Amino acid sequence: YRAYAQDRDEFYYGKFPDHFEWGVATSAYQIEGGWNEDGKGPSIWDKFAHKGRLLGKATGDVTCDSYHLYKEDVRILSELGVNFYHLSLSWSRILPDGTAGSYNQKGVDYYNNIINALLARNITLMVALYHWDLPQALEDKGGFRSDLIVDWFEDYARICFEQFGDRVKLWLTFNEAYVISFFGYGVGEHAPGVRDPGVGVYKAAHNIIRSHTRAYHLYTNHFKEKYGGSVSIALDIEWKEPLTDSEEDYLAANRAIQFKLGWFGNAIFGGSGDYPEVMKHYVAEKSRRQGFSSSRLPEFTEEEKKLNNGAFDYLGLNHYTTHLVTHSNTTTMRPHYEDDQDIEILNDPCWAPCKADWLRVNPWGIRYILRWIKEHYGNPPIYITENGRATNDSLEDWDRIYYYQYYINEVLKAIRLDNVDVRGYSAWSLMDNLEWTNGFDERFGFYHVDFNSSKRPRRPKQSAYFYRELISNNGFPR
C-alpha cells in the first residue's frame, strides 16, 4: 500500500483511450415518479417512503417526474455530450406483482420510448435490472430472503432481455449488492426495513449472488449470440487505507475490502466461485463462539460455485470515498455483520467532508481500488458505474468540479500508469434526485432540479459545462 504513496499528488496530463465511453447515471425510483400510473405496482421503496421513513417525509411519488419528462432527460443528456446513459428499470412497472403473469405493456412502452429517443441521438445505454425497488408483492413472499427470488429474478431478466435486448448492449443485474443486503436486510435503514444483521443479511446476499449468476447464464446461453451484449453487476467499495503501517492494520484493511467487495466479487471475479477465505473463516469462528451449530454465512454447492465463477463480461464499480481502517478485537457476542470483521473504520480529517455525511473527498482512493481489483481479479474490463459527490443547492458547484477533475484524473493514471483496463465511466448523477433516506436534501446532479415547481425544470450547473468539456477533450490534454 505504502509503495503507492509516492505518485499520489501529481496531476496527469493526457487523454483517455480512443474508445473510452463517457456516461451519467440515474435510477428508476430516484427520478421517475409516476409511482402508481399506467398499471405500475408498488415497490418496497413506495411503501417505505409512504410510512414516512425518508428525511422530511420525502417520497418518490413525483421526484424528477421523468415518467412524464423523459424527453427533457434525453435533451440534457445530449447537451452534455455523453456516449451512454446508465439508468435502471422499475421491476414493478414492467411486472406489477413481480411475476411474469402480471406483464404490463405500458411499463414496457415507457422504456421503449426512452431507449428509442436515446438511440436517435446516438446515446447508447447501460441498463440496471435492479436498483433497489423490489416489487412489494415479492417482499410479501419473502423477498431476497426467499430462495424463490432466483426464479422471480430470472423471469424478470428474461422479459427485459427479450423486450430491450436488441438495443441494449450493457446490462447490470444488481446495483450495489452490499447496500441491498446490509441496509435493506441487515440494519433496516433502507427498504424493506428488515433488521437481521447476523443471519438475514448473509442470506439476502447469498440469494443476490445466485440471482445474478442465473441471469448472467440466461443471457449468455440465450441472448448473447443474437445481441452480442455484456452483463455484469455493479459493486460498491471504498478504498480502505490502513490507519498505520502495522501488519495488523494492513490485514484489517484488506479484510474490510474482502468483507464488502469480496463478499460478492470473490465468487464472480475471484476465481473460486466462493466467498473469500478470510470471510468464511471469520464468520465461522464467530458463529461457533456464539453457539451457532454452523456458520451464519451460507454455503454454495459445488455446482453453484462453478456457475458463479466467471459469471461476468465486465466489472461495474461504484466508488465514492475512502475509509481508514484499523484492527479491533470485537469482544461482543452479538451476531452482526459489522462485528464479524474485527475492524474499526475512521475518517482522515484531511479529507474534505461533503453534504453526504458518509462521503469524504480523497481522489487517489479510486486509483488504489482499481489497482486492487486488477491484482485480485485478473484485470477484468471495468466500467466505473457511479462516482460523484453531493453539494448544497447551488448552480455554482465548484466543489463538484474539483471532485470530478481529480477523481477522473486518478482513473486516467490507473489506465495509463497501472494498465488497469477501464473502458468507461458514468458519473452520479445526471440531475438532482431523490437521494433515498436523505430525501431531496443531498444534491448530486450536473443539472439542478427545482422540486418546488410542478414542471421540475432542469438547469445546468457549472459542473455540467466542465463535464461536457472533459468529454469533448476525452480527458486532460495539455
Residues at the contact surface with ligand BG6, assessed by CB under 6 A: 27, 175-176, 179, 236, 318, 356, 386, 428, 435-436, 438, 442, 444
Nearer to ligand BG6, 16 or 171 (CB): 171
Is position 72 annotated as part of the catalytic site? Answer: no
Among 286, 263, 260, 270, residue whose Cα is nearest residue 206: 263
CA distance 271 to 209: 15
3-class secondary-structure state, position 428: strand
C-alpha cell at 403: 471532485
Nearer to ligand BG6, 179 or 209 (CB): 179
Smallest distance, Å, CB 130 to ligand BG6? Answer: 11
Nearer to ligand BG6, 410 or 435 (CB): 435
C-alpha cell at 475: 480527458
Would you tell me how many other CB atoms lie within 10 Å of the CB of residue 223?
19
Smallest distance, Å, CB 442 to ligand BG6? Answer: 5
Smallest distance, Å, CB 42 to ligand BG6? Answer: 19
Nearer to ligand BG6, 190 or 413 (CB): 190
3-class secondary-structure state, position 383: strand
Catalytic residue among 241, 344, 386, 410: 386
3-class secondary-structure state, position 459: strand
Smallest distance, Å, CB 6 to ligand BG6? Answer: 31
Are 115 and 167 in contact by the 8 Å Cβ rule? The answer is: yes
DSSP 42: P
Smallest distance, Å, CB 217 to ligand BG6? Answer: 25
Among 140, 151, 126, 259, residue whose Cα is nearest residue 205: 259
Nearer to ligand BG6, 27 or 426 (CB): 27
Are 381 and 374 in contact by the 8 Å Cβ rule? The answer is: no
Nearer to ligand BG6, 178 or 300 (CB): 178
Among 415, 421, 236, 444, residue whose Cα is nearest residue 323: 236
Burial (0-12, 13-18, 19+ Cβ within 10 Å), 185: buried
Smallest distance, Å, CB 236 to ligand BG6? Answer: 6
Catalytic residue among 21, 32, 72, 176: 176
Smallest distance, Å, CB 433 to ligand BG6? Answer: 7
DSSP 448: E
Nearer to ligand BG6, 27 or 124 (CB): 27
Angle of helix 247-269 relative to helix 200-222, nearest 10 degrees?
40
Question: DSSP readout, 271-305?
Answer: SSSS--HHHHHHHHHHHHHTT-SS-SS----HHHH
Q: Which residue is nearest to ligand BG6 (CB)?
A: 435
CA distance 7 to 206: 39
Nearer to ligand BG6, 65 or 304 (CB): 65
Is position 386 annotated as part of the catalytic site? Answer: yes
Among 166, 73, 176, 178, residue whose Cα is nearest residue 128: 176
Beta bridge partners of 21: 424
Would you tell me how many other CB atoms lie within 10 Å of the CB of residue 468?
17
Smallest distance, Å, CB 356 to ligand BG6? Answer: 4
**What contacts 428, CB < 8 A, 6 or more positions away?**
24, 25, 318, 320, 386, 387, 388, 444
Map grid coordinates 456457475 to a residue.
307
C-alpha cell at 442: 443531498
Smallest distance, Å, CB 444 to ligand BG6? Answer: 6
Nearer to ligand BG6, 53 or 296 (CB): 53
Are 319 and 369 in contact by the 8 Å Cβ rule? The answer is: yes
Catalytic machinery residues: 176, 386
